[in-house]
């Protein structure tokens, strides 16, 4: 389960465009942050996506991707032209094709690599969808998990919501704000579609799966928080929405938390494994912030520059590794997960202080910006975040775990399965 939203220049304090997304995946599914340069290809070259091979484009844009380690595509990302895309699983009466096709995450990356505007990205995704269909397993360990997709696409002029059913699509453009979750949001008010005029997209929704996804409640929370900010929305506002919980027990209930905590393998089985906030100014500047680790309520957002990414954020596989920033954070995060009652409040205070130093006032930078002060700030933010976790790991040795035996047993099994250091 995931949440994605964007806020246009009319509602932001800087007159900028802000995109934000949590990637909710299986709890031990490593989430990488990778930066790839623009490339030129031969006319007859092919491209291997997650499951199928398609013709490669002659030229691709430089991209920054946030992605599950085992998938070619990405959950969210942005390109050098200022296009930002995130996708959401949709549960519909029409099921994915049985033969392999493109999955939603492939389409996110393809849209970023091939499009220079939000509208171009929507056209790229719709065209590829019509030619290749969507089909293929989208789960990491759950090899039966497959779904349709919706996309939120933003540039410096508009926000486009693109929702798909099979090889069909519908889209609508927004100027102020938009949010998508794991439910269809468009009815018959779309502006462009491959479906007959007047078709109500809601007729395709699977009501059972959509209800248990908790998407309506989460989207309402996001839209309410955006509205409450008025015209003063900023990246700090986005951080707070992405780490939002409905109560003090974020691992209970029917998936109503924007910051998702897994707790068992049936209902609460999704976990926020990575988060992205991107801000675009009116010309060509970027401010890009990632957690590079799971649970944004337990780790700071940190600035990154595509030209030089922090060490270890693009590393990680199916087992714990010291070379992987994601896995090193996970060794801390699992311990904190079991002590949320005592840890979460004071830790979050320190997290916000760190974000205030390294995120709130950092200037916009061009895509290939190499300003030494900005590169130093990025490196220092990651260093300070790791130091914060090391300090808390030491402090937690003297703290009792919360009296939640089933929840704790679930996370102990996750740690054991992946050889995560665990006391």
Q: Which residues are catalytic?
A: 2
Distance (Å, rounded) from C-alpha 289 to C-alpha 305?
9
Distance (Å, rounded) from C-alpha 163 to C-alpha 89?
10
Kindly state the greatest CA–CA separation across the chain.
64
Distance (Å, rounded) from C-alpha 274 to C-alpha 27?
11
- Burial (CB < 10 A; 0-12, 13-18, 19+), residue 310, is buried
8 Å CB contact between 54 and 132: yes
The values of phi and psi at residue 75, to 5°, are -75, -35
Distance (Å, rounded) from C-alpha 317 to C-alpha 371?
32
The tokens describing 20, both together, are: 């934000």
The tokens describing 56, both together, are: 């490669």
8 Å CB contact between 31 and 65: no
8 Å CB contact between 33 and 146: no
Smallest Cα–Cα separation from 265: which of 410, 371, 165? 410
DSSP collapsed to 3 states, 230-267: CCCECHHHHHHHHCCCCCCCCCCCCCCCCCCCCCCCCC
Residue with tokens 């100027």: 175
8 Å CB contact between 207 and 114: no
């Amino acid at each position: 389960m995931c949440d994605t939203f964007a806020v246009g220049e009319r509602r932001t304090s800087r007159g900028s465009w802000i995109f934000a997304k949590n990637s909710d995946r299986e709890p031990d599914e490593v989430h990488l942050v990778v930066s790839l340069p623009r490339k030129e290809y031969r006319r007859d070259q092919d491209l291997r996506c997650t499951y199928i091979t398609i013709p490669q484009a002659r030229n691709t844009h430089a991209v920054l991707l946030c992605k599950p380690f085992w998938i070619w595509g990405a959950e969210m990302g942005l390109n050098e032209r200022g296009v930002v895309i995130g996708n959401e699983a949709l549960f519909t009466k029409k099921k994915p094709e049985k033969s392999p096709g493109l999955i939603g995450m492939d389409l996110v990356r393809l849209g970023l690599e091939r499009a220079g505007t939000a509208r171009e990205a929507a056209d790229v995704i719709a065209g590829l969808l019509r030619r290749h269909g969507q089909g293929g397993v989208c789960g990491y360990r759950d090899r039966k998990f497959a779904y349709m997709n919706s996309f939120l696409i933003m540039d410096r002029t508009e926000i486009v919501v693109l929702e798909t059913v099979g090889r069909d699509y519908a889209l609508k453009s927004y100027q102020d704000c938009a949010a998508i979750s794991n439910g269809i949001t468009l009815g018959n008010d779309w502006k462009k579609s491959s479906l007959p005029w007047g078709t109500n997209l809601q007729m395709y929704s699977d009501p059972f799966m959509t209800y248990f996804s908790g998407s309506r409640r989460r989207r309402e929370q996001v839209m309410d928080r955006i509205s409450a900010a008025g015209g003063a929305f900023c990246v700090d506002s986005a951080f707070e929405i992405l780490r939002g919980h409905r109560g003090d027990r974020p691992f209970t209930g029917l998936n109503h938390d924007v910051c998702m905590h897994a707790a068992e393998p049936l209902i609460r089985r999704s976990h926020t494994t990575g988060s992205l906030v991107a801000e675009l100014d009116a010309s060509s500047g970027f401010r890009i912030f990632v957690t590079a680790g799971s649970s944004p309520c337990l780790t700071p957002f940190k600035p990154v520059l595509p030209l030089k990414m922090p060490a270890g954020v693009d590393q990680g596989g199916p087992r714990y590794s010291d070379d992987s920033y994601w896995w090193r954070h996970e060794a801390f995060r699992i311990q904190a997960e079991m002590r949320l009652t005592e840890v979460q409040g004071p830790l979050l205070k320190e997290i916000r202080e760190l974000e205030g130093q390294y995120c709130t006032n950092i200037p916009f930078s061009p895509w290939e910006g190499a300003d030494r002060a900005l590169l130093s700030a990025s490196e220092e933010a990651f260093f300070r975040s790791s130091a914060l976790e090391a300090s808390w790991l030491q402090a937690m040795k003297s703290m009792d775990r919360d009296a939640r035996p089933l929840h704790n047993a679930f996370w102990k099994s996750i740690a054991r399965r992946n050889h995560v250091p665990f006391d």
